[in-house]
Amino acid sequence: MVSKLSFKTCLTSLAVATCTLGGLGAIANAQGGSGLVIFGKEDVDVLNYYLDFGGKADARDRYRLRIPGKKLIGGASKFFISYPDYFDGKFDTDRIEVRVQKDGEEESLPLREVIWDQESQIIEIDLEEPLKESRKVEIVFSNVRNPEVGTYYFFAQVLPATDLPIREQLGAWVISIDP
């Protein structure tokens, strides 16, 4: 009787463990959305993103960093994206776009300049014309060389299109790079 009970208990435990590990594998393969943040910064709004080519370490990729319209109440004249000092990837500043939805179609906004300050780990994107209305924005980094395996917090700030020259914190994209 004891051996039958122990066998059933072990079998049940094994089944639960297998289902749990299988579910975690599916979550780990996701390369979009806001991700599953178990550990990290609690007071940060997590923003959605998508990696077009799967987020593989040391490979080329395209990052689609999304900002909901409700975050851009004052519009935008500049975007600032900071990343951690241990991020060893490379950006192609000539291949950065800011896209918005206009009249049901996606439109790329003209940029005045893009500055990548590698020492300060920040990318500044200056729009040629300020975005006055609150719209969903997608910042697209093409031709990115992914870093080593890890999780990287990319923080988003905006300089609103208003007369008040104070940056607003929007949230963070929690980007995972896989082997």
> Do 75 and 130 form a contact (C-beta atoms < 8 A)?
yes
Does residue 22 lie in a domain region?
no
Cβ-contact 100, 139 below 8 angstroms? no
Mean pLDDT to the nearest integer, 103-130: 95
| pLDDT tier at 18, thresholds 50, 70, 90 | very low
Residue at 24 is within a domain: no
Q: What is the mean pLDDT of the chain?
A: 84
What's the domain range around 50?
31-177
Q: Is residue 165 part of a domain?
A: yes
Q: How far apart are CA 129 and CA 111, in angstroms?
A: 8
The angle at the Cα of 106, spanning 49 to 169, to the nearest 5 degrees, equals 40
pLDDT in the model for residue 92: 98
First-to-last CA distance in the chain?
A: 47
Would you say residue 100 lies in a domain? yes
- Residue 44: exposure state from Cβ atoms within 10 A (0-12, 13-18, ≥19): middle
Question: In 3D, which of 88, 72, 98, 85 has the Cα closest to residue 159?
Answer: 72
Q: Is residue 122 part of a domain?
A: yes
State percent of the chain over pLDDT 90. 68
pLDDT of residue 134: 86
Q: Which residue has the higher pLDDT, 30 or 103?
A: 103
Count of structural domains, the chain: 1
| pLDDT at residue 29, as a whole number | 43
Mean pLDDT of 77-100: 97
One-letter amino acid identity for 51? L
21 belongs to a structural domain: no
Dihedral over Cα of 7, 9, 14, 19: its sign: positive
Give the CATH number for residue 72.
2.60.40
Alpha helices in the chain (DSSP H): 2-28
What is the rounded CA–CA span in Å between residue 145 and residue 154?
A: 15
